[in-house]
Amino acid sequence: MSLLDIKHVDITYHVGKKDVYAVQDANMSIEPQDALGIVGESGSGKSTLAMGMLRLLSERICTIDGEVIFDGKDLLKLSDEELRKIRWTEISVVFQKSMNALSPVHRVGKQMEDVYRIHRPNASKEEIRSRVIEMLKVVNLPSRVYTSFPHELSGGMMQRVSIALSLLFNPKLLVLDEATTALDVVTQGQILKEIMALQEQFRLTRVMITHDVSVVASTCNKIAVMYAGRMLETGYVKDVLVHPKHPYTQGLLKSFPSFNGEKEELRGIPGALPDLSVKPTGCVFAPRCPYATEQCRTSLPTLQTVGNQWQAACHQLGGVSNGGN
């Protein structure tokens, strides 16, 4: 049985009189202890999907439709109260700048204890303290971090504190949104390795959001490739990244963004993301696709099964050669 089922999720931002269709018809299912990488260029809707499915986006700025079934419950239908009980304890999130949420004037250990106390109001002082110290150790931080202030820590240490915080209650699902993107290559590599070890140790299911396909290749077993708000190809990493079916995935693999930051333009794919306030009639990728035909420009391709739990949304699946070379 899957732990998380994303079914026909649409997320639309309302900006003045304009609607921005940031996520359209997202579908994905994740089994326990899977590691799913959601990959795509900046602006493709990855964070919107993650925040939206966890109900972290204000209803004042956007509308969400569809179903997000977590452990048998539709997160989009839970009351705020029920949702509060699940966040942190069953599902937790680490963002690129999670540490910005910490106060600069309080010590790290104390702030972690405060978080613990909110969800375990009856825990003893000693229990809280030992859990926090244990979690700092789990993410390979020296014990002095407990009494440090946030500004005394390096970027890598700060992200480790964020990860320690996210694991305080042994959640089932951990979502990491560009959690290592801002770090130098060596630190990023170390933390990615640690995250994978933690996944084993805590029997975590993980969703990893990144613009960097090499991060997915090295840390995930499943992948969803997003472009302009749509999932264009989903499946096992060993299939999708080895024999990509969708021309966009093929282009993404050719361009391999560097570790140093987001690329504005993919080398393999000339052009830029379309305006998301205009709903295209055809395939969202058609304007940049070397194989696009009239059919691609006028009718929307839906995800077709192309293998074991492997789907791609492309009209030209039969005619597109592997790697597009």
Ligand X SMILES: Nc1ncnc2c1ncn2[C@@H]1O[C@H](COP(=O)(O)OP(=O)(O)O)[C@@H](O)[C@H]1O
Q: How far apart are CA 33 and CA 35, in angstroms?
A: 6
In angstroms, the CA 310 to CA 40 distance is 17
Q: Is 166 in the site for Mg ion (CB under 5 A)?
A: no
Q: Residue 316's binding partner, choosing from ligand X, Mg ion, none, with beta-carbon cut-off 5 to 8 A by kind? A: none
Q: How many of the other CB atoms lie within 10 Å of CB of 27?
A: 17
Q: Which does 61 bind (CB under 5 to 8 A by kind): ligand X, Mg ion, none?
A: ligand X
Residues 37-56 interacting with Mg ion (rule: CB under 5 A): 47
Q: Which one of ligand X, Mg ion, none interacts with residue 219, CB within 5 to 8 A by kind?
A: none
* Least gap, CB of 44 to Mg ion (angstroms): 8
- The minimum distance between CB 275 and ligand X, in angstroms, equals 9
Nearest-approach distance from CB 48 to Mg ion, in angstroms: 8
**Distance in Å, CB of 82 to ligand X, minimum:** 25
Binds 44: which of ligand X, Mg ion, none (CB < 5-8 Å by kind): ligand X
Q: Which does 48 bind (CB under 5 to 8 A by kind): ligand X, Mg ion, none?
A: ligand X
Residue 43 Cβ vs ligand X, minimum distance, rounded to whole Å: 4
For ligand X, the closer of residues 12 and 311 by Cβ is 12
Give which of 306, 251, 232 is closest to 23, Cα–Cα.
232
Binding site for ligand X (CB under 6 A): 13, 15, 20, 22, 40, 42-48, 61, 276
Cβ distance to ligand X smaller for residue 145 or 209: 209
Q: Which residues bind Mg ion (CB under 5 A)?
A: 47
